[in-house]
Amino acid sequence: MKFILVVFSVVLVLAILAGILDWYFWGRSPQERYRSTRIHPSSEPPSFSAQDKEDSDEKRT
Protein backbone atom coordinates (compact mmCIF):
# COMPACT_ATOMS: atom_id res chain seq x y z
CA MET A 1 0.00 0.00 0.00
CA LYS A 2 2.82 2.38 0.84
CA PHE A 3 4.51 1.61 -2.49
CA ILE A 4 1.36 2.56 -4.41
CA LEU A 5 1.11 5.82 -2.47
CA VAL A 6 4.76 6.71 -3.22
CA VAL A 7 4.37 5.90 -6.92
CA PHE A 8 1.13 7.91 -7.10
CA SER A 9 2.71 10.95 -5.41
CA VAL A 10 5.77 10.82 -7.71
CA VAL A 11 3.53 10.61 -10.79
CA LEU A 12 1.44 13.50 -9.47
CA VAL A 13 4.52 15.70 -8.94
CA LEU A 14 5.84 14.84 -12.42
CA ALA A 15 2.46 15.68 -13.96
CA ILE A 16 2.41 19.06 -12.22
CA LEU A 17 5.96 19.82 -13.38
CA ALA A 18 5.08 18.78 -16.94
CA GLY A 19 2.06 21.10 -16.86
CA ILE A 20 4.17 24.02 -15.64
CA LEU A 21 6.82 23.42 -18.30
CA ASP A 22 4.14 23.07 -20.97
CA TRP A 23 2.63 26.40 -19.97
CA TYR A 24 6.05 28.05 -19.74
CA PHE A 25 7.18 27.05 -23.23
CA TRP A 26 3.91 26.85 -25.20
CA GLY A 27 1.23 28.66 -23.22
CA ARG A 28 2.60 32.14 -23.79
CA SER A 29 2.91 34.29 -26.87
CA PRO A 30 6.26 34.48 -28.71
CA GLN A 31 6.78 38.05 -27.50
CA GLU A 32 6.39 37.00 -23.87
CA ARG A 33 8.78 34.09 -24.41
CA TYR A 34 11.32 36.47 -26.01
CA ARG A 35 11.07 38.96 -23.16
CA SER A 36 11.53 36.25 -20.53
CA THR A 37 14.64 34.78 -22.18
CA ARG A 38 16.61 37.97 -22.87
CA ILE A 39 19.90 37.98 -21.01
CA HIS A 40 20.33 41.75 -20.78
CA PRO A 41 16.98 43.54 -20.86
CA SER A 42 18.71 46.93 -20.74
CA SER A 43 20.72 46.23 -23.89
CA GLU A 44 18.01 47.78 -26.08
CA PRO A 45 18.31 51.50 -26.65
CA PRO A 46 15.51 53.31 -24.84
CA SER A 47 12.78 54.75 -27.01
CA PHE A 48 11.72 58.21 -25.94
CA SER A 49 8.44 59.75 -26.89
CA ALA A 50 7.99 63.48 -27.44
CA GLN A 51 6.24 63.80 -24.06
CA ASP A 52 9.17 62.16 -22.26
CA LYS A 53 11.58 64.58 -23.94
CA GLU A 54 9.47 67.55 -22.85
CA ASP A 55 9.32 66.22 -19.30
CA SER A 56 13.09 65.77 -19.12
CA ASP A 57 13.64 69.29 -20.52
CA GLU A 58 11.35 70.72 -17.83
CA LYS A 59 13.28 68.91 -15.10
CA ARG A 60 16.59 70.42 -16.24
CA THR A 61 15.38 74.02 -15.91
The DSSP secondary structure of 4-40, one letter per residue, reads HHHHHHHHHHHHHHHHHHHHHHHSS-HHHHHHHH-S-
Q: 14: helix, coil or strand?
A: helix
pLDDT tens profile 22-41? 887 777 666 666 666 666 55
This prediction's pTM? 0.44
Long-range contacts of 16-20 (CB under 8 A, 24+ apart): none
Please name the residues in contact with 19: beta carbons below 8 A apart, sequence gap of 6 or more: none
DSSP letter (8 states) at residue 42: G
pLDDT at position 46, please?
Answer: 52
Averaged confidence pLDDT in the chain:
73
Q: Is the pLDDT of residue 6 over 90?
A: yes
